[in-house]
Amino acid sequence: MREEKIPPIPNLGQRTDEITIYAGPCSVESAEQFDEVAACVKGLGLHWVRGGAFKPRTNPHSFQGLGEEALKIMKASGEKHGLFTLTEVMDSAHCELVHSYVDGLQVGARNFQNFSLLKKIGQVTADSHKMVLYKRGFAGTVAEWLAACDYISDCGNDNIVLCERGIRTFETATRFTLDIAAVPVIHKQSLYPVCIDVSHPAGQRDLVPSLAKAAVAAGADSLMIEVHPNPPAALSDGPQQLTPEQFEALVAELRQIADVLGKRIV
Ligand code: PEP
Ligand code: MN
């Protein structure tokens, strides 16, 4: 029998002992709504709150976000609770505006290959080095994703987090198919941290805990989880958002898994 020399498995996904959670509503709808979630996030000892100000809606007649008003709400709550804030920037024309209000800029799945937006975000964050959370497109390969990171980093900011948020496959039981293997694959091929957005692939809130636990177990560096004080009344993505109580219970479970791995949820 031919003897095969198997190389040692590299230490995948063990770059840091902290797993960051980016939690918050899909859309910022009012100061009260956002602040309730921010207070919950702070109460759990987490550091980042997310929210949509400019929303990439499939249908132009759906709620498009509160725009700059939402950015003001996020900044006020972030300062009040001592939290970092993260929001999506959809348009090159909004980069400076969004950058002036928040701590992290998100590139959404629909802008995966909007290279002029990626370049503009790289330029706008070149001095501040604010985090850019760069989501994978529905039909983007890992190779395309990693290649496009250079549009951002070549402009001066390599503080990039790659966020897997589900891809489109033949399967329709979930909103998107979560490619959990993206975590070890990216860890093998790049030095960027990997975030798993567990809400958008799930599409339904009862699936969120399983995906979140799988993401922690797979070695994700961070998780994105949508949380709304009253999901049935949400102006976007109601079915997949957790209530603050459900989120609290999930964070407790995730902390147990993180403990086993010698990691901390922050
Ligand atoms: C979001 O994070 O609210 C969002 C719109 O995500 P995606 O771009 O992954 O659909
Ligand atoms: Mn959403």
Question: For position 4, what pLDDT does the model report?
Answer: 57
- Whole-angstrom CA distances from 24 to 37, 48, 55, 130, 169 are 6, 9, 14, 19, 27
pLDDT value at residue 16: 78
Residue 135 Cβ < 6 Å to ligand 1 = yes
Pocket lining: 228 vs ligand 1, CB cutoff 6 Å? no
Residue 13: predicted pLDDT = 41
pLDDT given at position 3? 55
pLDDT tens-digit readout, 41-74: 999 999 999 999 999 999 999 999 999 999 999 9
Q: How far is the CA of 223 from the centre of ligand 1 (A)?
A: 13
Range 189-210 average pLDDT: 97
pLDDT in tens, 8-20: 444 444 467 999 9
Domain 18-265 -> CATH class:
alpha beta
Range 149-165 average pLDDT: 97
If you write DSSP's letter for every residue of 193-228 in order, what string do you get?
-EEEE-HHHH-SGGGHHHHHHHHHHHT-SEEEEEB-
Q: Is residue 81 over pLDDT 70?
A: yes
What is the separation of C-alpha 155 from the centre of its chain, rounded to a whole number of angstroms?
22
- For 102-151, the pLDDT digits (tens) are 999 999 999 999 999 999 999 999 999 999 999 999 999 999 999 999 99
Average pLDDT over the chain, rounded to an integer:
95
For residue 163, the CA-to-ligand 2 centroid distance in Å is 14
Give, for ligand 1, the residue of 164, 165, 225 to mutate: max count of ligand atoms closer than 8 Å to Cβ: 165
CB 136 near ligand 1, within 6 Å = no
Instruction: Show Cβ contacts of residue 12 under 8 Å, excluding neighbours closer than 6 positions.
Output: 184, 187, 188, 219
Helix 31-43 with 68-81: angle, nearest 10 deg = 30
Give, using CA atoms, the residue closest to atom 4 of ligand 1: 108
Q: What are the residue ranges of helices labelled H in 114-189? A: 115-124, 142-153, 182-189
What is the share, in percent, of the chain residues with pLDDT greater than 70?
Answer: 94
Instruction: State mean pLDDT over 93-109.
Output: 98
Least confident of 5-9, 90-94, 228-232: 5-9
pLDDT score of 130: 96
- Tens of pLDDT, residues 238-266: 999 999 999 999 999 999 999 999 999 99
Domain ranges of the chain: 18-265
pLDDT at 214: 98
